[in-house]
Every structure is written in C-alpha cells, then in structure tokens.
Amino acid sequence: MATRRDFIKKAGLATAGAVGTATLGAPYVHAAKGPIKWRLQTYAGPALAEHVIKPSIDAFNKIANGEMVIELYFADQLVPTSELFRAMQKGTIDAVQSDDDSIAAPVDVSVFGGYFPFACRYSLDVPVLFNQYGLNEIWEEAYGEVKGVTWLGAGAWDPCHFNTVKPITSLADLKGLRVFTFPTAGKFLARFGVVPVTLPWEDIEVAVQTGELDGIAWSGITEDYTVGWADVTNYFLTNNISGAWIGSYFANSERWNELPGHLKGLFKICMDSSNYYRQYWYWGGEADLRVNGDKLKLTSIPDEEWATVEAEAQKFWDEIAATSPRTKKVVNIFKKYNADMAKAGRPYRYG
C-alpha cells in the first residue's frame, strides 16, 4: 500500500486513478477475496479418478499458484451422476467430467456420448471426429441452446467390453444377462436380450457378488482391474460394441464466464493433458492385461456371429438419425468417417 500511495502522489490523481486500478487494483482485490474455488464432480470412482482426471486437476491447482483451486469429487459423491447436469445448471456444482448420456444432458446429441455402438474403432477416432470432422462445432451449437451450462470439449476413454461371471461364447449367452452399462449402450444391447441395470457406481462390485448383476459392459479390461471388477468376475469378452468412450468436460456458464482468460486457457490445457494421458494408459493397459493379466479369462464370439451385431448397429444409427436434423448430421459424419478409414486401410482399419 505504501508503494501504491507513493505512485499516486508522483503520477497525479487522474493518471493514477486509471493506471493504478488497471495495474495494482486487480491483484489487491484478488488477495482480499482469496482464490477462486470450484467444485468439480467426475463420473469416476476414486480408484479410476486417480487416472482419468486427478493428475490433471492436481496440475491445475499447482500451476494456478493460489489464484484458483478446484476441489475434485468422485462418482455420486455430491449428487447422483444422473442429476449432474441439473446440479451444474443450478450452480450446486461448478464443473463436471462425464459423458453426455449418463448425466442426462438435455440436448439431442447426448445419445452419442458414452458408447454409441460401433461409432469408433480406436481411441484416436474420437479426437479426429471432433477436431477434423466437425463434431466440435455441432456440440457447441447444441449446448449453445441450453442455458446455464458450457460444453468445454470431448476426449476418448477405453473400449466397451463385457466382463462377466459366466463365459460368453455366443450371442445366445447374452440373453437374460443382467448388466450394468450406459443408457444408450443398454438400449442397443437390449436387442440381444441383455437386461440393462442402473445402479450407483460404487455399488457395482457388491451387486455382482450378491448376484444382482451377471456382469458389466461399462469399460475395457484396464478399468476392470483398476476398480476391482476383475476380482468379482471371471471372464472378459474380446468383442466390443465400441472402440472408445466419448466423454466431455462441462462447466456452469456463469462460473466459466467469470474466469479470466489465462485460467480458462490453463483449464483447457489440463483437459488436453488428461486426454493425452488416457490415450496411452488405456491403449497400453488393454493389451498388457489381455496378455499378462491373471484374473480374467478371455472369451470371444465368432466373427460371423458378431457381424450380425454390427449390422444391427447400422439400423440403430438410422433410427437415431431420424430423431432430429442434428442427429442425422452426426450419424452421417460417423458413416463418412468410418468409410474413409476403411478406404485408408491398414493401420486405420483391418478387414
């Protein structure tokens, strides 16, 4: 304050009022108010969050250097996952990491969040679709129509496989199987007799042990080992219904708009850091645990049988495309992208 008074005396009241406010007032006000504080809830439980978000939030808090602190909460810790969007809209929480589908985002593109059947073959498909095939602009348009929430960006997670108590070696084995999965994935799998079950994330392991669930179609093998599901199931089906989960970051619009530009930029860089970490953590983990994992036995459904599931997915796509002009646009992008990858051949697509 002594330095500031001296500056005002020397510069003159008029000049000092303008310059002093711009250069010295902001840090002083910040110091008086303390750091900006956010509460962010992820879809993931504690063990999984250690990989899918915690390193990036820890980095953010360190680099923000006292200007801002993000408190991280795990699945269902503050509010149930299915209520996250509404809670964020109301300002009960400030930000969310999840897929659009699980948080019941009130936009037509929410059906593509999580595991949209066979839209992606590999995790790298997701950033390419968003950054080079136009999904970023479509998601921004969709969420621009919703008050109170800002969509910040998407990234890729692991593929969607079954891990089960009993082995699956044919489509017939899926009939009557009570499975924890995502909303849209569950609707698709119901066509093959699967019974989708919705439970809090932290209850899944016990539900398998008590027989309430026969299995899980929520992740790849890396998560099965990381969160403990490999300890209560016996088999892992190598066929998957999607090569990558599409997840996003969201924020309460008012809180996001309050942030200075450099903190917005830092948050997005930390998002990118998390997206990059997951690319190699999952890609390497999926292969390593198939080869070296000692808890789950691998099973497969023959390719000719599984081809009927892939064919059914195309019908499912067309049904979703008919729900709105925007969903039709997204489905057309998925079709073009997968056709391009098939034409590109190896290593983009095999067979």
| Confidence check: pLDDT of 10 > 80 | no
| Confidence check: pLDDT of 204 > 60 | yes
Banded model confidence at residue 157, pLDDT cuts 50, 70, 90:
very high
In whole angstroms, what is the distance from residue 109 CA to residue 76 CA?
23
- What's the pTM value of the predicted model, to 2 decimals? 0.89
Q: Does 30 fall in a domain?
A: no
pLDDT digits (tens, 9 = 90+) for 41-74: 999 999 999 999 999 999 999 999 999 999 999 9
Q: Does 203 fall in a domain?
A: yes
Domain that holds residue 339: 104-351
Average the pLDDT over 226-234 and give the result: 98
Q: Does 155 fall in a domain?
A: yes
Q: Does 91 fall in a domain?
A: no
Cα torsion through 119, 304, 186, 159, rounded to 10: -50
Q: Does 170 fall in a domain?
A: yes
CATH number of the CATH domain containing 202: 3.40.190.170
Domains of the chain: total: 1
pLDDT digits (tens, 9 = 90+) for 108-139: 999 999 999 999 999 999 999 999 999 999 99
Q: Does 333 fall in a domain?
A: yes
| Confidence check: pLDDT of 250 > 90 | yes
Beta sheet of 95-98, edge-to-edge order: 68-73, 36-42, 95-98, 246-252, 149-156
Output the pLDDT for position 350: 81
- In this structure, what are the phi and psi dihedrals at residue 228, rounded to the nearest 5 degrees? 100, 0
Identify which of 187, 184, 189, 183 has the alpha carbon closest to the alpha carbon of residue 237: 189
Q: Does 190 fall in a domain?
A: yes
Output the pLDDT for position 56: 98
What is the average pLDDT value for the chain, to the nearest integer? 92
Contact 244, 158 (CB under 8 A): yes
Q: Give the type of residue at 66.
A: G
Output the pLDDT for position 351: 62
| Confidence check: pLDDT of 11 > 80 | no
Q: Does 5 fall in a domain?
A: no
In whole angstroms, what is the distance from residue 269 CA to residue 60 CA?
9
